[in-house]
Amino acid sequence: MRKKLLPFIATASLTLAACSVQTEGDANQPTDGTDVSSNVETTEKTTIEILGTSSNETDMNIVRDQLIKNGFNVELNTQPDYASFTAQKDAGNYDLAISSWTTVTGNPDYAVRSLFITDGDYSIMSDSDVDALINQAALETPEEYVNTYKELEDALVTENAYIIPLYTSLKAQAFNEEILNPDTIRLSKSRAFAWEPVSFLDESLNDTDTLLLTQANGNLTSLDPVKGNDGSINQLNTNMYVRLVNLTDDDQVVSDGSLSYSHAIAEGNSEYYFVLRDDINFAKVEEGQAVDTGEMVSGQDVIFSMNRAKDQNSVPDHRTYSLHEHIDTVELVTDLNELEDTQLSDGSGNILDALEENLSNPINEVVEGADQVDNSTGNYQVIKLTTTEPFPQVLNYLAHQSAGIVSQKQVESINTYDIASYDVNNDIAYGDQRAVTEGATYDNHLYASGPYIMIQKNDYEATFQKNPAYMPDTENTANIANVTVRFIADMDSALSSLRAGEVHLLYGLDETKYEIVEGEESLALQSIPSNAVTYMLVNTSGREVSESADLRKSILYSINQDEINAAYNGSKLKAYSTVSPLVDTGNELVADPAKVEEFYEAYLETAE
């Protein structure tokens, strides 16, 4: 029975590129100069339409030339920005669309679940084999899941070519080291850029001057953490909402700088415990200033936030529910004996001892009411999260911005509409950017549990202030009081702003701009391998590529990743799927003109 692709939504993280383009005569050649196609007779083939934005121009041109080299006719559908790209995609005006996915949680399940499982948040297909392999790998240890992810890649790429991989990128940022203290600038492999550690070189400016940042997208999906998972809000929501755990710069799950002092996994890998700190209050905006609400971020808020995160129907247009579908129950522990009687998953002791390891005061009592909490006397709230099945990767998802803790009281006071009849034109949900946009709609209703809160935005920038009640008098309190994020869509313009001193840090610098930054005495460059993979999405309806795996595989083997890497001066890494940066499966895409012809002939035979 033929497996059919279903409509999909592309994730928003398009790769920026601008460098020299390969000619048709040079395309699809290995880096050693050997002509791999000299002994293959090329068949004139069907027309392939490639959709992308102007920032993808290099990728589009290289892929075009490689496909033409293998006999395809190619049309480029180049759009000026992401909004018009999305409109063309929604209209179905493409065969292949240049897109990318960044695994911001640091775990391989995130790299595949939303994109490829049936009915996932951004699912592009429905394939029972792919579903089964995704679910199997999710329950395995890293030692076990390597083979499973290899099988998944074989089903996803080798056998069906549901996606066409192009490359893995480096992750880089540039900043003005004459203004910012380099020792306070972090670059994490997965986690969005953290603002609170950043300090000016002259620390006396931290309370008076503004940290100036930039991002491409100014149209914000939502400031409700569960309603968006794209480049417009990931960094913003990461800095506005605290989570139960965090990721280190190298993707280790820790409690440092989170709502929990520590966490522990119980025997069986289905029960997770978190002892909560009591020195974080929600911030709100009054008369244009961030103020302390006096309301502690409590265990009740955690339960509310996690339950809505996992429930697809908790909000209209929920975009992150599949990340949290393994959460079964979330509750407060009310019996101290439970912590003492429950053993750790590694057999090294009990939950109580593990949770107390980093506490200044031991746990004397576990309390339910927020008004009973007093960490200084040993009264703590402890959250117990139970998964539907053993699933250690749940901790990575709890570090994602979509697991940010919101105020139950505030969200319920704003979201008074009926979800079934929600009208996006008339109803303003919690986190809607209209509530913080200057003008007639401004009515800032945000409650932030993280180190910063958005004060307001317009078409050009958004302004933030530090949460005065976020871990005060600790190393985790924000250093700089004011942050402005300027919306600059064009990479060249953003870099010009950095060089001119109009912004202090440029996050997500394209590899083709490294030399420019390195040539500026005032600028510093940080770069590491990333979890970002660029690939081509297949149109799932009304096109020949939607119906024929053979046609898709003919396209697949036209792609020469060595050629792509050469165009980027060796700064790209090979990829086979979105899991490539995280798991070494041994799979590698090697351009093969003979296979191009073989699969195209098979496609023609089937079409007849």
Domains of the chain: which residue ranges? 47-170+530-607, 180-491
Q: Given this model, what pLDDT does residue 39 score?
A: 61
Query: What is the share, in percent, of the chain residues with pLDDT greater than 70?
Result: 93
Q: Kindly report the CA angle at 37 between 566 and 168, in degrees rounded to 5? A: 30
pTM: 0.82
CATH 3.40.50.300 fits 180-491, yes or no: no
Q: How far apart are CA 153 and CA 123, in angstroms?
A: 16
Closest CA to 483 of 502, 455, 460: 455
Give 418: exposed, middle or buried? Use CB within 10 Å, 0-12, 13-18, 19+: exposed
Fold agreement between 47-170+530-607 and 180-491: yes
Token pair 């075009």: residue: 64
Q: Given this model, what pLDDT does residue 358 score?
A: 86
Q: Given this model, what pLDDT does residue 575 score?
A: 97
Q: Name residues whose C-beta falls within 8 Å of residue 432's C-beta, 6 or more positions apart in sequence.
A: 222, 223, 224
Q: Given this model, what pLDDT does residue 42 score?
A: 77
Sign of CA dihedral 177, 178, 179, 180: positive
Q: Given this model, what pLDDT does residue 166 score?
A: 97
Q: Given this model, what pLDDT does residue 26 score?
A: 38
Q: Given this model, what pLDDT does residue 177 score?
A: 98
pLDDT tens, position by position, 194-225: 999 999 999 999 999 999 999 999 999 999 99
* Top-tier CATH class for 47-170+530-607: alpha beta
Positions of the chain with pLDDT lower than 50, given as ranges? 1-38
